[in-house]
């Protein structure tokens, strides 16, 4: 099987939009290259007392609009090229959202048994190993991060507890009692009150706005969701509140379908209590992938990257796709969907509620004042509504391609900021 280099894909996407906008090759090169790459060794002890060393990365892509911003992921397959690609995506996401941030991303190579032992088995020894990895990684990158320099957040297999370790280690290392150096922290340490629901909220609001513009409204429109973790659950919850009908959901173990609609609160309860939506009482049992290809109005891919490819894109029947997951549609599949008339709300817009929530958290940390969940919720919604309108207004420039419209807006803002600074 041919391995796809994520950095090359990100560069190709950037080149495509630069060519479309008439941006010179020299400027494209400035946009493509990273401003700083940090590679650090991360020592840790396994429960048997043996010392091991792994590697950690922090890629800082572009700071024209402000400090670097992006998550840190833990995974056994983390690579430098992956982190580079994700930091380029964060530059576009932050720019499109209208945030005063550049793009950054981090990652640590962490063995599967350490992650699963800490997450699923709640093994105290593995949890201690995870804490050691977190502290040693963040101490190593501390000279290169800060509240006005680079502000990390959670990503794959990291969470508010990991951010609490990062914060504490940074304060120990630097002596600076600041809270805004990381975001998505526990509420007790200055975390946003709406942050946990923010990604699902933005995904749902983006779908609602597109449905209002293209389908005559959201009321009664059918929705299928692949992936029922945090983002998928909140997307389902909010879309149901907007009046949509959730007819199918799935997770890694399978799914459930009912054309008459599913009880979202019951689904969330079943998922929490049994570990999978397949145990939902009622409906038809389906595979994990079936929600992608059902005859629905709106599809929310909320699981993994690359689930819609050139080999199956023709099976997609949804009229609107709101990407809760990062990169669920490959570039080749994108072209097929555009030709079919499917409107895709790209991940850098649909799931940007998380980074918008992180921005609001950092603002509150800086002024030492708490907004409350309702204000955070309203601020996120306002930005998403504005940005969906912007890509709808420009999609015809790009043959109906919502992703290209979003990329164009994002890249133009970064290029303008670089010109104003005299960098190009």
Phi-psi group of 118: left, alpha or beta (phi > 0 → left; psi -120 to 50 → alpha; rest → beta) = alpha
Helices (H) and strands (E) in the chain, counts: 14, 12
105 catalytic, yes or no?
yes
User: What is the DSSP pairing of strand 298-301 with strand 320-322?
Assistant: parallel
Smallest Cα–Cα separation from 351: which of 230, 269, 252?
230
Whether 391 and 3 have beta carbons less than 8 Å apart is answered as no
Phi-psi group of 243: left, alpha or beta (phi > 0 → left; psi -120 to 50 → alpha; rest → beta) = left
Separation of alpha carbons 338 and 319, rounded Å:
10
* CA distances from residue 215 to 65, 83, 106, 210, 211 in whole angstroms, order as listed: 35, 37, 39, 8, 5
Whether 362 and 147 have beta carbons less than 8 Å apart is answered as yes
Smallest Cα–Cα separation from 72: which of 190, 144, 158, 10?
158
- 10 Å Cβ neighbour count for 35? 16
Element (H, E) at 412: helix 402-421
Which is catalytic among the residues 69, 84, 93, 105? 105
Helix 6-21 / helix 25-32 crossing angle, nearest 10 deg: 150
Smallest Cα–Cα separation from 55: which of 68, 69, 44, 70?
44
Smallest Cα–Cα separation from 99: which of 288, 361, 321?
361
Known catalytic residues are 105
């Amino acid at each position: 099987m041919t391995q796809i280099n994520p950095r090359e894909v990100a560069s190709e996407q950037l080149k495509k939009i630069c060519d479309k906008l008439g941006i010179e090759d020299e400027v494209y090169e400035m946009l493509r290259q990273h401003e700083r790459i940090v590679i650090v060794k991360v020592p840790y002890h396994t429960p048997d007392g043996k010392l091991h060393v792994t590697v950690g990365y922090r890629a800082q892509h572009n700071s024209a609009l402000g400090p670097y911003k992006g998550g840190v992921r833990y995974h056994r397959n983390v690579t430098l090229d992956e982190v580079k690609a994700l930091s380029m995506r964060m530059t576009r996401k932050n720019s499109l959202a209208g945030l005063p941030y550049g793009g950054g991303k981090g990652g640590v190579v962490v063995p599967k048994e350490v992650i699963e032992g800490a997450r699923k088995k709640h093994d105290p020894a593995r949890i201690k190993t995870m804490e050691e990895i977190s502290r040693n990684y963040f101490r190593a990158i501390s000279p290169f991060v800060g509240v006005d320099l680079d502000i990390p957040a959670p990503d794959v297999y990291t969470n508010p507890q990991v951010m609490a370790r990062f914060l504490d280690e940074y304060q120990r290392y630097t002596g600076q009692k600041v809270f805004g150096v990381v975001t998505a922290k526990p509420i007790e340490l200055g975390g946003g009150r709406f942050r946990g629901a923010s990604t699902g909220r933005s995904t749902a609001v983006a779908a609602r706005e597109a449905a209002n513009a293209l389908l005559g409204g959201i009321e009664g429109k059918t929705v299928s969701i692949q992936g029922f973790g945090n983002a998928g659950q909140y997307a389902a919850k909010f879309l149901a509140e907007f009046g949509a009908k959730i007819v199918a959901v799935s997770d890694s173990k399978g799914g459930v379908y009912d054309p008459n609609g599913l009880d979202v609160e019951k689904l969330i309860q079943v998922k929490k209590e049994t570990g999978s939506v397949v145990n939902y009482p009622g409906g038809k049992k389906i595979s994990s992938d079936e929600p992608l290809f059902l005859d629905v109005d709106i599809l929310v891919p909320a699981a993994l990257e690359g689930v819609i490819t050139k080999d199956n894109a023709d099976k997609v029947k949804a009229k609107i796709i709101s990407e809760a997951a990062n990169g669920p549609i490959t570039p080749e599949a994108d072209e097929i969907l555009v030709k079919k008339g499917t409107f895709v709300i790209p991940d850098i817009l649909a799931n940007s509620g998380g980074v918008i929530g992180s921005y609001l958290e950092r603002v509150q940390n800086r002024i030492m004042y708490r907004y409350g969940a309702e204000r955070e919720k309203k601020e996120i919604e306002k930005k998403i509504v504005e940005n969906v309108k912007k890509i709808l207004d420009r999609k015809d420039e790009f043959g109906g391609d919502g992703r290209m419209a979003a990329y164009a807006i994002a890249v133009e803002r970064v290029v303008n900021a670089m010109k104003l600074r005299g960098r190009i």
